[in-house]
A = this chain, B = another copy of it.
Amino acid sequence: MTPDPARFLADLHALRRFGGDEATKGVRRRAFSAEDVAARDWLAARFAEAGLEARIDPVGNVFGLAPGRSLLVGSHSDTQPEGGWLDGALGVIAGLEVARAAREAGGPPVSVVSFQDEEGRFGALTGSSVWSGKLALADADTLVATDGTAFAAAREAVAARAGDFVDPGRFTGFLEMHIEQGPVLDAAGEAVGVVTGIVGLRQFTVTVQGQQNHAGTTPMAKRADAFAAVARISAMLPERFANIVTPSSVWTIGHVTLHPNASSVVPGRAVFTLQWRDIDTDRLDRMEAAIRTLLDDVAAETGCAIRAERLRQDLVPQPMDAGMQVHLREAAEAVAPGRWRSMPSGALHDASNLSRVMPVAMLFVPSIGGISHDFAEHTAEDDLVTGVRVLAEAVRRLG
């Protein structure tokens, strides 16, 4: 079962031209934009050419269906507002190429999919959320993008050609190849990552209430400076996490707003997000406990009132299917001996949603410099080809 590298790369570059920007090498193909809908129509045609039954569902997910029960392989083809050319697109075209190679070899039946709105223009991983049953269509229809476009209105772009939702029960599992979107494989000079699981995520929105004051006349000893408290929390986290985390655990204060945010005023209020991710639920719990203790300690030290709220739903860690991983590891070792590793995924993918309804597994290829969600996102063509070969070999072994 041999994928055709030239055909694979040609289709990858063809998809890139939908919303592609010659100057930046990036892509603008937001969910349900004209470029996205045109790309989905093109994908449907390519799926049909490959002998698959092309179907677009009511929320814009595009399938190329093999008859009977089959393995589903794919990803998403919508992009960030300023996106890279491989994020999602790689997994869709790799799935198509593997489906073609399988048919040519009289091999196992393989279906292909491009999910809609993985990048969250409307909701989080909207297309696969609806398809997997995590999000009711009626609820998805209440989603509104930040530019005011309603999901219900946007999906009318495919209404004329949409068929019924595909039954998840016809698939034996889901396999997704994706760029790593991080620096680990690239820094190690490795070609492939076999994903062990998708990390869990928790996030606090923390409000620090101090005392706004004149920055010239208020002695240091009489201040309750909300920003100084945030800074102390940030600076103390590594120490408080030292006996809890692994080198793979991550935590981020990404968003901070101060009030009044003026150079001559002691900040009276600060709001920030603190997000942490890990593959292990117990570790997430222990990080959370350490955070709560730290917030209490800093409140006591600084005289600020500190309150943490969960405004974002927790995501639980999602292990990848153990049996599928065995085949992926064997395929990786066969195709790229000694040049692969097992590793968690720090980012969410459509596979997270599909794990509700079938076994799932993922493969990574390197991201040069770890760059993603950026026009400069790239992977060497050799590594793209190695990836599709590992994917094909894994599908062959999965039978």
User: Bound complex: CA of A295 vs CA of B265, how far in Å?
Assistant: 22
CA distance A234 to B184 in the complex (A): 31
The verdict on A7 contacting chain B, using a C-beta distance below 8 Å, is no
A183 cross-chain contacts in B, Cβ below 8 A: 218-219, 222
For A203-217 the 0/1 string (1 means CB < 8 A from B) is 100000000111111
Minimum CB distance partner of A225 in chain B: B252
Contact, CB under 8 Å: B215 / A275: yes
Q: Does A160 have its Cβ within 8 Å of any Cβ on chain B?
A: no
B217 with A346: CB separation less than 8 A: yes
Closest beta carbon of chain B to A342's beta carbon, Å = 15
**Does A6 interact with chain B (Cβ within 8 Å)?**
no
Binary per-residue interface labels of chain A (69-110) against chain B in the complex, 1 for a CB within 8 Å, 0 otherwise:
000000000000000000000000000000000000000000
Which residues from B are CB-within-8-Å of A218?
Answer: 182-183, 250, 346, 370
Residue-by-residue, is A157-201 near B (CB-CB < 8 Å gives 1, otherwise 0)? 000000000000000000000001111100100000000000101
A258-B261 in contact (CB<8A)? no
Residue contact A266 to B247, C-beta cutoff 8 Å: no
A249 to chain B, nearest CB (A): 7
Q: Which residues of chain B have C-beta atoms less than 8 A from A373's C-beta?
A: 214, 265
Report A204 CB to chain B, min CB distance, Å. Answer: 10
Q: Does A232 contact B (CB under 8 A)?
A: yes
Q: Do B275 and A247 touch (CB < 8 A)?
A: no
> What are the residues of chain B within 8 A of A273 when measuring CB–CB?
263
Instruction: Tell me the complex Cα distance, A203–B262, Å.
Output: 12
| Chain B residues, CB < 8 A from A213 | 370
Contact flag A277-B216 (CB < 8 Å), given A203-B263, A264-B252: yes
Q: Which residue of B lies closest to A257 (CB)?
A: B261
Contact for A255 among B181, B255, B262, CB less than 8 A: B262
Q: Is A325 an interface residue (CB 8 A)?
A: no
Give the most central of A235, A263, A346: most B CB within 10 Å.
A263
What size tier do the contact residues of chain A reach? 35 or more
8 A Cβ contacts from A243-298 to B: 247-258, 261-267, 273, 275, 277
Q: Is the CB of A219 within 8 A of B203?
A: no
Asked if A23 is at the interface of the complex by the 8 Å CB criterion, the answer is no
Minimum CB–CB distance from A271 to chain B (whole Å) comes to 11
The answer, yes or no, to whether A347 is at the interface (CB within 8 Å) is yes
Tell whether A345 is near chain B: CB-to-CB under 8 Å: yes
On whether the beta carbons of B263 and A275 are closer than 8 Å, the reply is yes
A9 within 8 A of B: no
- Give the distance in Å from the alpha carbon of A216 to the alpha carbon of B344 in the complex: 10
Complex Cα–Cα for A347 and B213 (A): 12
Chain B residues near A219 (CB-CB < 8 A): 182-184, 247-248, 250
Question: Is A372 interfacial (CB 8 A cutoff)?
Answer: yes
**Could you give 16 example pairs across A and B, Cβ below 8 Å?**
A183-B222, A214-B346, A214-B370, A216-B348, A217-B372, A219-B247, A225-B252, A227-B234, A227-B253, A228-B234, A230-B231, A231-B234, A252-B263, A253-B267, A254-B258, A254-B262
Closest 7 CB pairs of A and B: A182-B217, A231-B234, A216-B346, A217-B346, A263-B273, A235-B235, A215-B252
Q: A182-B214, A213-B370, A218-B250 are in contact. List 14 more A-B contacts (CB 8 A).
A: A183-B218, A203-B263, A212-B374, A214-B346, A214-B370, A216-B348, A217-B370, A217-B372, A219-B247, A220-B247, A220-B250, A227-B253, A254-B267, A264-B275
